[in-house]
Amino acid sequence: MKKIFRLTAFILLITLCFTSWGCSSCKKSERLSQYDVVANLEGDTLTAKQTFTFYNCYENSFKYLKFNLFGRAFRKDAKYSPVLPQHLSTSYPNGISYGDMEILACYQEGKTLTFSYVGEDQTVLQVDLLREVFPNESAIIVIEYVLKLADVVARTGINDNTINLGNFYPILCAYDQKGFYECNYYGIGDPFYSECANYRVRLTCAKELVVASSGKKVLEQTENDKKTTVFTIDNARSFAMVLSSKFQTISQKVDDTDITYYYYEDASPKTSLEQAVLAVKLFNEKFGKYPYSTYSVVQTQFVQGGMEYPALVMISDNLESNAYGEVIVHETAHQWWQTVVGNNEIEYGFLDEGLAEYSVVIFFEAYPEYGMTRSQMIKSAEQTYKIFCSVTDKLMGKVNTVMLRNLGEFSSEYEYVNLAYIKPCIMYDILRKTVGEERFFGALKDYYEKYSFKNATPYDIVGAFERRGADSNGFFKGFYDGTAII
Ligand SMILES: [Zn+2]
């Protein structure tokens, strides 16, 4: 996600985004789990049947599966609210509103399965399987659910211009050394962590709604006042859609990818599309190839600067023009750092945010016509970070500069932005100056290639630099644990 911190000025915006560990054995798409979602949207209510084929690519067996139900975080009695108190008025312009995600039934082989809401905030679904699933075996389960959308400007919700369908379905919890990882919906950062899977999503909605989506449209049918659209994407970490009756579109092909910009209020849509096009071209060259055949850049109502999903990014309609372009670049960089190379965004959000933010520096450095220089951007970041340290020290008597910590351990959005975006951005620039251009970009390419469609950890990027001959372990450690002084 992008909380907006403008590298060119001293403005704090922000985008939220995070990562984690992962399944190292699930690499070939034919062996991935599969989501087949058939959904019907009527007003603010999405009724859906999700057929989930679980492929056990792990070394142990499973008697139950767990799914994150992010839609339940919008219910009235939720412990963790997706909306921070300071964003209540902008998130709920029409008054406080609540949503929910209710599981109606779960089946396997025609038999009803027992299920329960678990987790610290009851936002996790546990489904007990008919029988144990051993390594390399599959289980097909059906989940019927209803998602009630709140009238809220958020990743999931209805607002005056758009219907945001991020996190609209039960998504299998990532499974790592500690078991299924249950995500609490923290208001700070992007509280997500998932494994790649294949998706087929069939949505029926009012025919006047234009649907922007992760994945490729493979079917569209209109009948009376309804429209049914089918989208597919393979090897994706999640799936999102944004709907609006106001959308106009403009497209351009880059290499093998069709980039489409969806917008309803943009005086220069060609300029916005061009920034996405240039970013994809540059990052393809600098980091490695974008793997999907489509990429949707979608203007929407959003409180933060933007939000990333595989092959789709949300860009807030409430940004001034310079920040708008910068957010497009930041969110586009997340296609490399978060959607393709994933990470546990709750445990170490800085991993993808820092790389996305430094990719913005790389972008403006490569395209000087935008009028921003690398040295200006880094100087601005350093000044912003020093102000944060100084202000926090005066207010709190001490500054916690540890980057490596859980989302729930950040005391404010201000602290999170400085430690997950700004500090790592400075860190990568120092590292680049130290190890040189060839090692720096070589290590990033290696990291992208090695961890594509997997989840990486903060130690994996250290390894990528070490393998390039950069003695960087102590350097990274100093930043991670807060002992490095800027
Ligand atoms: Zn971000």
Instruction: List, for residues 240-280, the tens digit of each pLDDT value.
Output: 999 999 999 999 999 999 999 999 999 999 999 999 999 99
Query: Is the per-residue pLDDT at 19 higher than 90?
Result: no
Q: Cα–chain-centroid distance for residue 461?
A: 19
Say if CB 23 and CB 352 are below 8 A apart. no
Domain assignment of residue 336, yes or no: no
Whole-angstrom Cα distance, residue 381 to residue 367?
19
Task: Say how many Å lie between the CA of residue 342 and the centre of ligand 1.
Answer: 13
233 in helix, strand or coil?
Answer: strand
Domain assignment of residue 56, yes or no: yes
Task: Say how many Å lie between the CA of residue 420 and the centre of ligand 1.
Answer: 9
Say if CB 210 and CB 262 are below 8 A apart. yes
pLDDT at 9 (0 to 100):
42
Condensed to tens digits (0 to 9), the pLDDT of residues 131-149 reads: 999 999 999 999 999 999 9
Structural domain of residue 92, as residue ranges? 29-244
CATH number at residue 120: 2.60.40.1730
Task: Say how many Å lie between the CA of residue 244 and the centre of ligand 1.
Answer: 24
Query: Is the per-residue pLDDT at 10 higher than 70?
Result: no
Tally Cβ neighbours within 10 Å of residue 73: 29
Whole-angstrom Cα distance, residue 333 to residue 223?
39
Task: Say how many Å lie between the CA of residue 16 and the centre of ligand 1.
Answer: 5
pLDDT at 486 (0 to 100):
85
Number of domains making up the chain? 1
Condensed to tens digits (0 to 9), the pLDDT of residues 337-350 reads: 999 999 999 999 99
| Banded pLDDT at 3 (limits 50, 70, 90) | low
Task: Say how many Å lie between the CA of residue 199 and the centre of ligand 1.
Answer: 24
Domain assignment of residue 71, yes or no: yes
Output the CA torsion sign for 274, 330, 26, 202.
Answer: negative
Domain assignment of residue 279, yes or no: no
Condensed to tens digits (0 to 9), the pLDDT of residues 451-475 reads: 999 999 999 999 999 999 999 999 9
Rg (CA), the chain: 21
Whole-angstrom Cα distance, residue 258 to residue 253?
4
Domain assignment of residue 158, yes or no: yes
- Percent of the chain residues topping a pLDDT of 70: 94
The DSSP code for 466 is H
Task: Say how many Å lie between the CA of residue 128 and the centre of ligand 1.
Answer: 35
Domain assignment of residue 475, yes or no: no
Condensed to tens digits (0 to 9), the pLDDT of residues 269-317 reads: 999 999 999 999 999 999 999 999 999 999 999 999 999 999 999 999 9
Query: Is the per-residue pLDDT at 406 higher than 60?
Result: yes
The pLDDT mean for the chain works out to: 94
Domain assignment of residue 397, yes or no: no
Task: Say how many Å lie between the CA of residue 391 and the centre of ligand 1.
Answer: 24
| Banded pLDDT at 1 (limits 50, 70, 90) | confident
Say if CB 304 and CB 3 are below 8 A apart. yes
Task: Say how many Å lie between the CA of residue 67 and the centre of ligand 1.
Answer: 24
Domain assignment of residue 134, yes or no: yes
Query: Is the per-residue pLDDT at 87 higher than 80?
Result: yes
pLDDT at 14 (0 to 100):
42
Task: Say how many Å lie between the CA of residue 414 and the centre of ligand 1.
Answer: 14
